[in-house]
Amino acid sequence: MPFLQIQECQGGLRVNYEVKLKVDCNCKVCKGMHIRLLDDEIAYLEGLSGTIALAKTRGISFFLETETREIVLFTEPEDLIVASSFGVGEKVRRGLACTLYQLRELEAPLIVLPKGHPASPRLKTVVSIGPCTHLSCKIQPGTHPEQNVLCGSEEFHELEVVAEPGGAEIRGKAQGIALDSDRIVIEKL
Amino acid sequence: MCTVGGGPDLGEVETLAAKDYECQECNNKFQGMGRRPTCPSCKSRNVKAV
């Protein structure tokens, strides 16, 4: 939303006003959907064949455990944990909430499976942690080491989930569904 | 990062650019990544990259 700053003199004092301008802007930033999200809440965005869940990290650290190393992932309080699952409905939402709860509330470590481990295809949820997550349906789950790319279902391809103070913004255009508040469910985590 | 299920499958996790840190309060040594280094043992932010 653009702002116009106006200066006015009142009794010798200079006062600044910020006026929100109502304009039709088509830029990606202005068209993003904003989600207000409290620290103890989880937001679900449900598509046709997939669901995304997000919650604030509250600035805690996360632990990545490999066979030989432990890596601590530091976060800012406004950063997001974003979990994605290929499925919709109550069962999937509960699974996503469980994943986020284990990571954030129980500070459960993330056990890193070696590449090509037979268990990988059986696992149902993918997670990204940080200030910004790019969703892509063109990567194989569990094989992308870049920090901000998360595999998601086709309708979420190329969406961005960006942390902002007090919530999150979903940027981009969903494929085949209208990205509006009807698709968002917010609950206590 | 892309992770899967209860445990992630990061694939090439070993290539992640983690730095070595030492906590100036409790001398804990750890590897970490991100913008807000914090000691995982005592939660102090008084840590130094080594």
Query: What pLDDT is stored for residue B45 in this prediction?
Result: 93
Non-local CB neighbours of A150 within 8 Å, separated by 6+ positions: A82, A84, A126, A127, A128, A133, A134, A135, A136, B2
Residues of A in contact with B17 (CB under 8 A): none
- For range B1-17, the mean pLDDT: 49
Pick A145's closest partner by Cβ from B15, B30, B37. B15
A106 to chain B, any CB pair closer than 8 A? The answer is no
- Among A75, A114, A123, select the one facing B36 at the smallest CB separation: A75
pLDDT of residue A183: 82
pLDDT cut 90: percent of chain A above it: 33
What is the residue extent of each domain of chain A? 3-9+29-188
**pTM recorded for the entire structure:** 0.75
Contacts of B26 (CB under 8 A, 6+ apart): B39, B41, B42, B44
Average pLDDT rounded to a whole number, residues A141-162: 67
Nearest CA in chain A to B38: A74
pLDDT higher than threshold 80 for residue B12: no
Tell me what pLDDT residue A21 has. Answer: 33
Is the pLDDT at A29 greater than 60, yes or no? no
SS3 for A123-161 is CCEEEEEECEEEEECCCCCCCCCCCCEEECCHHHCCCEE
Tell me what the mean pLDDT of segment B22-50 comes to: 93
d(C-alpha A17, C-alpha A32), whole Å: 25
Q: Which band of pLDDT confidence, cut at 50, 70 and 90, is reported for residue B13?
A: low
The answer to whether residue A163 scores a pLDDT higher than 50 is yes
Does A164 score more than 80 pLDDT?
yes
Better-predicted residue by pLDDT, A136 or A129:
A129
Measure B14 CA to nearest chain A CA, in Å: 8
A94 or A160: whose pLDDT is higher? A94
CB contact under 8 A, B6 and A111: yes
- Report chain B residues whose CB lies below 8 A from the CB of A71: 13, 16, 18, 31-33
Identify all chain B residues contacting A99, using CB atoms and an 8 Å cutoff: 5-6
ipTM (interface predicted TM): 0.79
Q: Is A145–B40 a contact, with Cβ atoms under 8 angstroms apart?
A: no
Q: Give the pLDDT confidence of A48-99 residue by residue, as tens digits.
A: 888 999 999 999 999 988 888 899 999 999 999 999 888 899 999 999 999 9
Provide DSSP, B1-50.
Answer: ----TTS---SSGGGS--EEEEETTT--EEEEESSS---TTT--S-EEE-
As a whole number of angstroms, the distance between CA A91 and CA A4 comes to 47
Q: Report the gap between the CA of B6 and the closest CA in chain A (Å).
A: 7
> Which of 1-50 (B) contact A at CB < 8 A?
1-16, 18, 30-38, 40
- Higher-confidence position of A130 and A144: A130
What DSSP assignment string belongs to A61-104? -EEEE-SS-EEEE---TT-EEEEEES--SHHHHHHHHHHHHHHH
Tens digit of each residue's pLDDT (9 = 90 or more) over B17-30: 789 999 999 999 99
pLDDT of residue A26: 44
- Is A72 touching B (CB cutoff 8 A)? yes
Q: How confident is the model at residue A17 (pLDDT cuts 50, 70, 90)?
A: very low
CB contact (8 A) between residue A145 and residue B7: no
- Residue pair B45/B29 in contact by the 8 Å Cβ criterion: no
